[in-house]
């Protein structure tokens, strides 16, 4: 119930392509879904987040798509660049709770 399942574990995309990472959850009490980006040797950092009252949120080349009925959400990186190569984590939390539940992470590599 508290898990967030993330796929794929690793992803290789050509420069300029679209990177797509998917997450699924079971707990319908989750109401906040952030994505974190982690570069080697650094801590994760918030990239973009969405609430379930909207189906999509876009910030620059990064878009979250949210499907409430399917209990799934995904991160799309348009025009992927080598600088986007990092590990990406989806997460979820319940309003009022301080704790985030993280997915297993996806190691993204963008080939030049």
Partner 1 sequence: DAGVIQSPRHEVTEMGQEVTLRCKPISGHNSLFWYRQTMMRGLELLIYFNNNVPIDDSGMPEDRFSAKMPNASFSTLKIQPSEPRDSAVYFCASSFERAFPPPREYFGPGTRLTVL
Contacts of 54 (CB under 8 A, 6+ apart): 66
The residue (of 10 and 111) whose beta carbon lies closer to partner 1 is 10
The token pair at 5 is: 């399942």
Closest CB 38 distance from partner 1, rounded Å = 8
Q: Residue 13 or residue 35: which is nearer to partner 1 going by CB?
A: 35
N residues, the chain: 112
> Which residues of this protein are in contact with partner 1, per CB under 8 A?
32, 34, 36, 41-46, 49, 51, 89, 93, 95-96, 98-105
Q: How far is the CB of 46 from partner 1 (least distance, A)?
A: 5
Burial 12-46 (b: 16+ CB within 10 A, else e): ebeeeeebbbbbbbeeeebeebbbbbbeeeeebee
Nearer to partner 1, 50 or 110 (CB): 50
CB of 90 to partner 1, least distance (A): 11
Bridging pattern class, strands 19-25 and 72-77? antiparallel
Minimum CB distance to partner 1, residue 32 (Å): 4
């Amino acid at each position: 119930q508290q898990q967030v399942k993330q796929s794929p574990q690793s992803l290789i995309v050509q420069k300029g392509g679209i990177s797509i990472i998917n997450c699924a959850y079971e707990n319908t009490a989750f109401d906040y879904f952030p994505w974190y980006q982690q570069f080697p040797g650094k801590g994760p950092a918030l990239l973009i987040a969405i609430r379930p009252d909207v189906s999509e949120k876009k910030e620059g080349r990064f878009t979250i798509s949210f499907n409430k009925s399917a209990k799934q959400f995904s991160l799309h990186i348009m025009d992927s660049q080598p600088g986007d190569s990092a590990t990406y984590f989806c997460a979820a939390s319940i309003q009022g709770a301080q704790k985030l539940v993280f997915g297993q992470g996806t190691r993204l590599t963008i080939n030049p």
